[in-house]
Amino acid sequence: MPERQKTKLVPVPSPNLIPERDVDKSPILEAQHLGIDFGGLTAVNEFNMAIGRTEIAGLIGPNGAGKTTVFNLLTKVYQPTRGTVLLDGKDTHNMNTVQVNKAGIARTFQNIRLFDKLSVEDNVKIGLHNQMKYGTFSGLFRLPAYWRGEKAAHERAMELLSIFDMQDLAGVKAGALPYGAQRRLEIVRALGTNPSLLLLDEPAAGMNPSETAELMDNIVKIRDTFQIAILLIEHDMSLVMGICEGICVLNFGEIIAKGTPEEIQNNPEVIRAYLGSGKEA
């Protein structure tokens, strides 16, 4: 008789990451039993999470816990081995990275990925790509649709850049920007795709405390103006505890805790796994 497969029954977690103002709506993102194996190694397992439509959620955990892998699974850079991702109730099972973005998920990268040789404005316009309507033919022959489309894109790009006060840098090559500005530009580019969920991978990395504080204000501002959900990976606890409404803690590829910042800060398992010695963050 074949050996019975080992199953671990995990209760589907309560949607405790959906803020009160969103409870009557369905979550924008639901990850259910999400997991991926690399070769024989399980990188992420049983990842369950629901994010509200206008929530700022945090994904934290020690280095190598699988946080970026979760982003790669949500955006289909990696195809999940198990589980489903529902975006606005729609299964993203058969989608690729491009389709997931068109469906509403935009992201930034831990190791910045800008179009270095192109200008700041062009980077944002590339984010606006699917919002622009004129075709290649109009572009090749400079038809009126081209001029209209380019003018609208220019105005929209400037508007988006103004979130971070970056209009003056529009003509600068993206690769020549200082580090912090590159991180901000990535956010602007992602916003250009008109997402309903924005994934930020360590947005405050390499920033000083005053820059981080400004970034926190801006993240909240982005949520409020665009009325979108934001999920962020961050090591800076002042940022995570300061603006996230729900937090999910990952260790060795599995969720070990979920809750509000207060709950997470007082969770003994989180303190043991994440903070090590039990020091307050």
Q: Encoding tokens for residue 171?
A: 């003509």
Among 86, 158, 163, 181, binds another protein (CB under 8 A): 158
- Give the closest residue to 263 by CA, choosing from 10, 16, 15: 16
Among 45, 48, 54, 75, binds another protein (CB under 8 A): 75
Among 86, 126, 181, 220, binds another protein (CB under 8 A): 126
CA count, 13 A, side-chain hemisphere, 41: 8
Bridge partners (DSSP) of residue 106 are: 198
| 107 lies in the binding site for another protein (CB under 8 A) | yes
What are the φ and ψ backbone dihedral angles of 51, each rounded to 5 degrees? -120, 130
**Residue 243 near residue 220, CB atoms below 8 Å:** yes
| 140 lies in the binding site for another protein (CB under 8 A) | yes
Among 45, 48, 54, 101, binds another protein (CB under 8 A): 101
Of 55 and 121, which has the nearer Cβ to another protein?
A: 121
Instruction: Name the pairing type of β-strands 82-87 and 90-91.
Output: antiparallel
CA dihedral 259, 263, 268, 270 (to 10 degrees): 40
Shortest gap between Cβ of 140 and another protein (angstroms)?
5
What is the C-alpha separation between 127 and 174, in angstroms, rounded? 14
Q: How many CB atoms lie within 10 A of CB 253?
A: 22
Rule CB under 8 A: which of 80-99 touch another protein? 96-98
What is the C-alpha separation between 179 and 119, in angstroms, rounded? 15
- Amino acid at residue number 178: P
Shortest gap between Cβ of 89 and another protein (angstroms)?
20
| 168 lies in the binding site for another protein (CB under 8 A) | yes
Which listed range, 3-11, 44-52, 56-64, 138-146, lies at the site for another protein (CB under 8 A)? 138-146
Shortest gap between Cβ of 166 and another protein (angstroms)?
11
| 102 lies in the binding site for another protein (CB under 8 A) | yes
CA count, 13 A, side-chain hemisphere, 234: 27
| 116 lies in the binding site for another protein (CB under 8 A) | yes
Interacting residues toward another protein by CB under 8 A: 38, 68, 72, 75, 77, 96-98, 101-102, 106-107, 109, 113-119, 121-122, 125-127, 129-130, 132, 134-136, 139-142, 146, 149-150, 153-154, 158, 167-172, 189-190, 192-193
